[in-house]
Amino acid sequence: MTDQGTIWLTQEAYDKLQAELEDLKGPKRQEIIERISAARDEGDLKENGGYHAAKDEQGKQEARIRQLEDILRKAEVGETPPNDGVVEPGMVVTVDFGGGDTEKFLLGARENLTEGDDLDVYSPQSAMGAAINGKSKGDEVTYTAPSGKDLTVTIVDAEPYQP
């Protein structure tokens, strides 16, 4: 189980985020600095579209750096959980809201998904994530949604995420 604020990541996801951070703080940061400098040398900054575009990109890149640093600081690196039907971070869970209305999602962090995988992700700290964490296939769980409404779900399936 993870603490509040902890983000469960596989070693592969952690390494991928660490590499992205190093790239953004190294070569990508230097590239933007050079583009800003070159645009500044062109003269009037007020009407310099290249300068403003580079500054906007720099702001987005610095925000991503802060986000990655925060994720990596909060990361709990673990192995893929066992295929024992018990819900825990790293599992693809299928729940039934009643009447056959099912939803399938990854319990964990979006960073664990492989590129192109459009699976929904629920945090273990979310209302439903916290309620189902540690439960098993077939268990019925009631939790209070952020709207204040009590919802009951039945865990239909829980299997390790396989990228």
Domains delineated in the chain? 7-77 (1.10.287.180), 80-160 (3.10.50.30)
| The overall pTM is greater than 0.85 | no
In this structure, the number of other CB atoms found within 10 A of the CB of residue 109 comes to 25
**107 within 8 A of 122, measured Cβ to Cβ:** yes
Please give the chain's pLDDT, 163 residues, in tens. Answer: 344 567 778 788 888 899 999 999 999 999 999 988 888 887 777 777 888 888 899 999 999 999 999 989 988 887 777 788 899 888 899 999 988 899 999 998 888 777 778 889 998 889 999 999 999 999 999 999 999 999 999 999 999 887 6
The pLDDT value given to residue 5: 67
CA distance 70 to 42: 36
Report the Cα–Cα distance between both ends of the chain, in Å, rounded. 22
DSSP for 90-109, written as a single string? TEEEEEE-STT-EEEEEES-
Token readout for 34 is: 């050079």
